[in-house]
Structure 1
Amino acid sequence: MSAVADFAPEWLALREPADAEARADALLPPLLDRLAGVDRPVVRDLGCGTGSMVRWLAGRLPGPVRWVLHDRDPRLLALAAADLAADLGEVETRVGDLAGLGAAELEGTALVVASALLDLFTFEEMDALAAACVEAGCPALFALSVTGRVELDPADPLDGEYEAAFNAHQRRDGLLGPDAVAAAEEAFARRGARVLRAASPWRLDGRPALTAEWLRGWVGAAVEQRPDLADLGYLRRRLDACAAGGLRAVVHHADLLALPGEGR
């Protein structure tokens, strides 16, 4: 991948319940139809982190599954494997660049999944992954890709400035950022795949610790992109409101299911 991002296990654990609630259940029926009759399907989780996507998906797939976990961070892979193996049995790990998988490596794979990953790809990397999945006939489920829109209640006059700066930061160095869902949709559809999209908004109500940590990261990225946004008191106002229970946040995401060979 062109971007190198390190995620602390503590952050991944903090966000996991909100992730699980946000993921789009509406995409599961067509996915399960596609997997019907596949014996012990191989499912590859790209950028698995500590395994939250697998934990969410495992109870929704029928029968035994062979899980292959991919991540560039061997520490996270070890944590995921240790946690999942006891419950799921057959779990393999692969350390390496997530954007380098080709059709040959996906041969025999029944499903590729990823969560909160696509914004870290360039268009070329996303296009290559779509090509590999379609050539291998492998469906792909991409969850929780940011779309660039944040709703904060109550509103602040500076909300739009920080949102725009954050989105620009996400697009740095040619990364897709909030354009990732549209890019993936186009890349798969152009190759004849059926592509389904569903909203998966992150609703942070009642999660003050997660909201505060998200705010720090969101504002921090915006200020890195636009240093003139520093020292305006915005983050302190928002954190104070969060601590008082007076801030509601919705971070908009989308989930995408691509089914090669089913396009119209």
Structure 2
Amino acid sequence: MRKTTATPADVARRVGGILAQPGRTEPGSVTETLIPGDGGPLRPAVHGVEAVAPGVIAGAGPVGRPGERPTVRLRDSAPEEQPRYAPEWLELREPADAAARAMELLDPLRIRLANLPGRSGLAIHDLGCGTGSMGRWLAPRLDGPQHWVLHDRDPYLLHFAAVASPRAAADGSRVSVETRRGDVARLTPDALAGASLVTASALLDVLTREEIETLAAACAGAGCPALLTLSVAGRVELSAPDPLDQEIAAAFNDHQRRDGLLGPDAVNVACEAFADQGATVKVHPSPWRLGPQNVGLTAQWLRGWVGAAVEERPELAERAEPYLAARLAACAAGDLHVTVHHSDLLALARPTGGAG
């Protein structure tokens, strides 16, 4: 047995917490379970989880039976590609994510959810849920019973998300959880049947144009809104500006666009895709504002940001090494402030079933 870890190179692939190359997932594997949230913090196991038998999600039951129709189409990767999103990284960034998400989008979302036809509770699909930070942030801000369907390809992250899910909505109504294992790069048309809302965090920038168009079409078909937060905007501001800042930023943005992924172009593409499906689209800034209170996160982000830039443009390596050392020293001293720009997107699809 081995522990799940992430190297600096893993983190460098997506400083936003999403790796550029998903690992292999067995085609058709889907796992479902109902788990009432316990509302607790992430368990100590987050910092060292031993592998379990393939096809089993610890604490969440077996995979679907052979022949069952999967609700999520899986993207294949080469067998040797097995990166996971490190739970440590997702836990480290969660407070910054929570502080950054755009509260301004919640009121129009609440109004739409309150007026969905035939509503008797919310069915919320969280795509690429990681350790479940989106649910911990959003569920206590919405009224009424909620059933969260958590999608992720990593069984360990699904387990963490399930056991640390919130118990109650804003008005005290019950929150329940279902996990589905699979890579959510593409959805089948029926994957969102009955959905009231689709959410995701730090997801759009690791999708292709085709995948975002498919997601927009799926939301339109279900008549459900989508709240898609913390997509990278391609802009970074650091205190005590350095001439190398812009070169690193440009190289990092090019790294994010590898293999047809959209990176910092994702929000514009998503706006077009959802608008083409007849949705009303609202976008609001959601920047990380990192300072002395975020030393651990800032240091990890710096290593990943510079590492990805150098991977994209190896000729930067000689200058990037002293640059990174100086930035890390300023970070450790509490003298570095960083703004990492993101955008949150709310797409209000036309509800099906009669409401306008």
Give the TM-score category using the shorter length.
over 0.9
Per the alignment, residue 70 of structure 1 pairs with 151
1:138 to 215, 224, 230: 224
What SS class does the counterpart of residue 125 from structure 1 fall into? Answer: helix
* Residue among 165, 173, 177 paired with 1:84: 165
Q: Where in structure 2 are the equivalents of 1:200-215 lying within 5 Å?
A: 200-206=286-292, 207-215=294-302
Aligned match for 1:46, one of 114, 124, 127: 127
Give the counterpart of 1:17 among 95, 101, 109. 95
Matches within 5 A, 1:240-251: 240-251=329-340
Look up the SS of the partner of 2:217 in the other structure.
helix
CA distance in 2, matches of 1:19, 1:84: 16
2:272 aligned residue (186, 197, 201): 186
Q: What residue identity is the alignment partner of 2:301?
A: W
In structure 2, C-alpha distance between the alignment counterparts of 1:198 and 1:6, rounded to whole Å? 29
Kindly provide the amino acid, as one letter, of the partner of residue 185 in structure 1: C
- Counterpart secondary structure, 2:148: strand
Summarize the alignment of residues 95-106 of structure 1 with structure 2, pairs less than 5 Å apart: 95-106=181-192
8 Å CA contact 1:42, 1:65 repeated in 2? yes
Q: Corresponding residue for 2:326?
A: 237
Return the index of the structure with the highest Cα Rg: 2
CA spacing shift, 1:201–1:114, aligned 2, 3 Å = same
Equivalent residue, structure 1, for 2:200: 114
**Distance in structure 2 (CA, Å) of the matches to 1:248 and 1:21:** 16
The alpha-carbon deviation at position 53 of structure 1 amounts to 0.4
Q: Aligned with 1:90: secondary structure? A: strand
Aligned residue pair count: 263
TM-score, normalised on structure 2?
0.71
Once the 2 structures are TM-superposed, how far is the Cα of residue 102 of structure 1 from its aligned partner?
2.6
C-alpha distance in 2 between matches for 1:48 and 1:214: 20
The alignment's TM-score, normalised by the length of structure 1, stands at: 0.96
Q: CA distance change for structure 1 residues 166 and 241 in 2, over 3 Å: closer, same or farther?
A: same
What is aligned with 1:159?
245
Q: Does the Cα contact within 8 Å between 2:167 and 2:176 map onto a contact in 1?
A: no
Secondary structure of the 2:141 match is coil
Higher fraction of helix: 1
Distance 1:251 1:195 in 2: 23
The 5-angstrom pairing of residues 214-225 of structure 1 reads 214-225=301-312
2:215 is matched by which residue type in structure 1?
L
**Aligned position for 1:257:** 346
Return 5+ residue gaps in structure 2 as ranges. 1-18, 23-82, 169-173
> Could you tell me whether the CA contact under 8 Å between 2:217 and 2:274 is conserved in 1?
yes
Percent identity between matched residues is: 62
2:128 touches 2:151 (CA, 8 Å); kept in 1? Answer: yes
Give 5+ residue unaligned stretches, structure 1.
none
Q: What CA distance in whole angstroms lies between the structure 2 residues aligned with 1:53 and 1:84?
A: 10
Q: Distance in 1 between matches of 2:308 and 2:287?
A: 20
Show structure 1 runs of 4+ deviating over 2 A.
85-89
CA distance in 2 between counterparts of 1:141 and 1:85 reads: 18
